[in-house]
């Protein structure tokens, strides 16, 4: 149990847990460097919030936010992913030194991100989401959430490989909180092992999400306990990458859990 930690660097005014804190590029860069020192092996730089109800931003605006941050963090040797669904933003980030595109639409927003990643030899994260951020929490419904997410990810992996991406470079993510009820999120985390059958590394992001608040009554800036618990359990179920805001605390918890479980 030794997952990589992907530290979240949100260069946005409106992200659900840290919106506005790192909108200034220099502050975002310093935050990314701190997460690197805390143990993040990947820094995930995003310029558009995907929280429920978030308003989309233009490609120019998003690019302007992420490009300098990606460039500075990549220049000092960090592995950087760019959290975007827009081709022009992905392209600018790869030009600036990013090595991975984290696409929460799994190539449905801008299918040309597939050929771009293929051409550049970039990694690609494909995430499951039902609906879109503006409406996704209105009435999420599944036959069997794990089977449905698994079938979706298998299909999107095929699309990515069809676009010329080496399947070995693709990571899959069940999209905790994206068009899911509390019970859907819990079921996915409980049965994460079934998604490992897809044969690709799993990325899991539970960090500070609202399902934690529903369970323990915590406000968004007070969800460290639930983040740590869910991250450790996701790692025990085989998650290869944990996308988190609180890198140091999750790393410490993983070290203890790993020692106990052997």
Task: Report if residue 49 touches ligand HH2, rule: CB under 6 A.
Answer: yes
Q: Which of residues 5, 9, 15, 250 is near ligand HH2 by CB under 6 A?
A: 15
What is the DSSP pairing of strand 4-10 with strand 241-244? parallel
Tell me whether residue 50 or residue 130 sits nearer to ligand HH2 (CB atom).
50
Q: 237: which residues sit within 8 A by CB, 6+ positions away?
A: 189, 190, 192, 193
Q: 225: which residues sit within 8 A by CB, 6+ positions away?
A: 216, 218
Tell me whether residue 17 or residue 36 sits nearer to ligand HH2 (CB atom).
17
Q: What's the rounded Cα separation, in Å, for the pair 113 and 101?
A: 8
- Distance of alpha carbon 32 from the chain centroid: 15
Task: Report if residue 110 touches ligand HH2, rule: CB under 6 A.
Answer: no
DSSP state of 108: S
Shortest CA distance to 12 belongs to which of 22, 4, 2, 3?
A: 22
Tell me whether residue 84 or residue 91 sits nearer to ligand HH2 (CB atom).
84
Tell me whether residue 149 or residue 262 sits nearer to ligand HH2 (CB atom).
149
Q: Which of residues 104, 157, 192, 247 is near ligand HH2 by CB under 6 A?
A: 104
Task: Report if residue 129 touches ligand HH2, rule: CB under 6 A.
Answer: no
Q: Which of residues 3, 16, 210, 237 is near ligand HH2 by CB under 6 A?
A: 16
Q: What's the rounded Cα separation, in Å, for the pair 117 and 103?
A: 11
CB of 177 to ligand HH2, least distance (A): 7
Q: Which of residues 5, 17, 185, 212 is near ligand HH2 by CB under 6 A?
A: 17
Q: 146: which residues sit within 8 A by CB, 6+ positions away?
A: 187, 188, 191, 194, 195
CB of 7 to ligand HH2, least distance (A): 11
Q: Is 243 designated active site?
A: yes
Binders in 132-161 for ligand HH2, by CB under 6 A: none
Tell me whether residue 65 or residue 243 sits nearer to ligand HH2 (CB atom).
243
Q: Is 209 designated active site?
A: yes
Inter-residue contact 83 to 105 (CB < 8 Å): no
* Beta strand extents in 33-192 (DSSP E only): 42-46, 79-83, 100-103, 123-127, 170-173
Q: Which of residues 46, 123, 179, 226 is near ligand HH2 by CB under 6 A?
A: 46
Q: Which residues bind ligand HH2 (CB under 6 A)?
A: 8, 10, 12, 15-17, 46, 49-51, 83, 102, 104, 125, 127, 173, 175-176, 203, 205, 243
Q: Active-site positions?
A: 209, 243
């Amino acid at each position: 149990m030794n997952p990589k930690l992907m530290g979240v660097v949100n260069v946005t005014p409106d992200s659900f847990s840290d919106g506005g804190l790192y909108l200034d590029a220099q502050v975002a860069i310093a935050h990314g460097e701190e997460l690197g020192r805390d143990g993040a092996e990947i820094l995930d730089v995003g310029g558009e919030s995907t929280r429920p109800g978030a308003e989309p931003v233009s490609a120019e605006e998003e690019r302007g936010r992420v490009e300098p941050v990606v460039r500075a963090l990549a220049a000092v040797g960090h592995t950087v992913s760019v959290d975007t669904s827009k081709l022009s933003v992905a392209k600018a980030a790869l030009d600036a030194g990013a090595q991975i595109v984290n696409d929460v639409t799994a190539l449905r927003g801008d299918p040309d991100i597939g050929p771009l990643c293929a051409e550049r030899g970039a990694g690609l994260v494909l995430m499951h989401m039902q609906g879109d951020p503006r409406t996704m929490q209105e009435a999420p419904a599944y036959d069997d959430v794990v089977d449905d997410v698994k079938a979706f990810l298998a299909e999107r992996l095929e699309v990515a490989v069809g676009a010329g991406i080496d399947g070995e470079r693709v990571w899959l993510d069940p999209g905790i909180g994206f068009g899911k009820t509390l019970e859907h999120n819990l079921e996915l985390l409980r049965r994460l092992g079934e998604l490992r059958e897809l044969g690709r590394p799993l990325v899991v992001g539970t960090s500070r999400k609202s399902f934690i608040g529903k369970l323990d009554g915590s406000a968004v800036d007070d969800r460290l306990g639930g983040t740590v618990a869910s991250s450790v359990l996701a790692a025990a179920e085989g998650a290869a990458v944990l996308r988190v805001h609180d890198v140091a605390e999750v790393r410490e918890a993983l070290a203890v859990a790993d020692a106990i479980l052997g």
